[in-house]
């Protein structure tokens, strides 16, 4: 498919998933996959603000990105954090550049240790209000073109629509328990990844891929499958590794 056809397919897929009741965590992981494919980046992360305005990690395409995102939150530093604060994209951040290193010293060092050379952060926003950030990481010093940046922002906007549909944040009268539920789902997924990584004697990324495959084969959301593994409803030994 051409680039335009791939983007259209990603949008159609997103709309189809949003029409019915859906699992936000699963949806955002699928969106991470589309970002990897359309933008040719190495890893993707999604952060959302909780009802108190504090960023939380919701989805990441691999373990390196997940740990780096968690470090950024703990250190309160990085393009993703800055992007959320002012709702302005941070593009083509070269992690070895003296200027960028000076701006995000701890984040840049940790990102280089994780093997990343370039990063980009795009705001998930409604009008001028940021509700989160879509973060892209590349192991190469490869910049986004103007067209790539438009595609990346379009995908960030799709993620924002998903969040609004899920009614997790934006308006203070919305029940904060909904976002807590999404965060709890992420925790369950991380626990199930650990269980299956041990069972299959594999890495966490490979275990996550296996969980997503098994969820699809069973017609379950990723969160539902992981909860069944953790509560013992589904025996991990019944799940074969590819």
Distance from C-alpha of 214 to C-alpha of 96, rounded to nearest angstrom: 39
Which structural domain, as residue segments, surrounds residue 196? Answer: 184-238
Task: Indicate whether 174 pLDDT > 50.
Answer: no
pLDDT at position 179 over 60: no
Residue 53 lies in a domain: yes
Q: What is the mean pLDDT of the segment spanning 151-160?
A: 88
Count of structural domains within the chain: 2
Q: What is the pLDDT of residue 176?
A: 52
Residues 123 and 198 in one domain: no
Residues 70 and 8 both lie in one domain:
yes
Q: What are phi and psi of 108, to 5 degrees?
A: -60, -45
Q: Tell me: do 198 and 133 sit in the same domain.
A: no
Backbone dihedral angles phi then psi of residue 202, each to the nearest 5 degrees:
-140, 180
What's the pLDDT score for residue 181? 65
pTM of the model: 0.74
Instruction: List all residues 6 or more positions away from 174 whose beta carbon is below 8 Å from its beta carbon.
Output: 51, 167, 168
The answer on 123 and 161 residing in a single domain is: yes
Residues 12 and 39 in one domain: yes
> Which residues neighbour 196 within 8 Å (Cβ) at sequence distance 6 or greater?
202, 207, 210, 211, 229, 236, 239
Question: What confidence category does residue 238 fall into, taking pLDDT thresholds of 50, 70 and 90?
Answer: confident
Same domain membership, residue 23 and residue 117: yes
Average pLDDT of span 232-241: 82
210 in a structural domain: yes
């Amino acid at each position: 498919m051409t680039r335009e056809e791939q983007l259209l397919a990603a949008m159609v897929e997103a709309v189809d998933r949003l029409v019915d009741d859906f699992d936000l965590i699963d949806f955002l992981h699928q969106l991470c996959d589309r970002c990897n494919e359309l933008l040719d980046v190495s890893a993707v992360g999604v952060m959302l603000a909780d009802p108190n305005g504090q960023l939380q990690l919701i989805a990441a395409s691999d373990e390196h990105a997940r740990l780096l995102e968690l470090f950024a939150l703990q250190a309160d530093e990085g393009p993703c954090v800055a992007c959320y604060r002012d709702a302005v994209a941070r593009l083509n951040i070269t992690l070895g550049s003296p200027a960028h290193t000076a701006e995000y010293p701890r984040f840049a060092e940790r990102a280089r240790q994780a093997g990343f050379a370039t990063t980009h952060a795009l705001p998930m926003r409604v009008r001028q209000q940021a509700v989160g950030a879509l973060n892209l990481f590349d192991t190469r010093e490869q910049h986004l073109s103007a067209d790539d940046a438009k595609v990346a922002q379009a995908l960030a906007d799709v993620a924002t629509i998903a969040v609004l549909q899920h009614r997790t944040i934006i308006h203070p009268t919305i029940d904060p328990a909904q976002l807590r539920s999404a965060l709890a789902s992420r925790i369950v997924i991380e626990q199930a990844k650990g269980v299956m990584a041990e069972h299959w004697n594999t890495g966490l990324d490979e275990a996550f891929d296996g969980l997503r495959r098994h969820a699809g084969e069973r017609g379950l959301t990723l969160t539902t499958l992981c909860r069944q593994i953790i509560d013992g409803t589904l025996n991990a030994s019944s799940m074969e590794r590819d």
